[in-house]
Amino acid sequence: MADAAILILRVVLGVVIVLHGAYKFRNKSLFDRKWQEDYGFPKGSVLLTGVVQVACGLAIIGGVFGRVAALILLLVMAVATYVCIAKHREPFLSTPEGKGWDINFLVMGSLVALILLGDGKWSLAGW
């Protein structure tokens, strides 16, 4: 039963991460400008983040190097959460007026769970 739970966690979390990374490719110029002007991130950081999210998300879905991928994504999410709190002054809970950082917290908790649990038997690494 635990391996089924790990598989569900891996697939759901991986799909969310992959789609967030792919979204950055479609809106790269908008994100590049915003990330440079508002946050001081260097040009190309949007592309790098998108590549990391897609690659690590796929690794998590497949269950290959899942712990490493989850750790890398945990660092990415820590930066994103810092931006939400320090730059945007977002509240914890999402509201109708805007987003909070509660979803970031949920994703980070899920990534920590994957780091602790590993890929499980129902993964490419488990074969």
pLDDT digits (tens, 9 = 90+) for 9-59: 999 999 999 999 999 999 888 889 989 998 889 989 999 999 999 999 999
Helix (H, G, I), strand (E, B) or coil at 98: strand
78-114 pLDDT tens trace = 999 999 999 989 999 998 888 899 999 999 999 999 9
C-alpha 124: how far from its chain's center? 21
Distance CA 9, CA 44 (A): 30
Q: Which pLDDT score, from 0 to 100, does residue 97 have?
A: 82
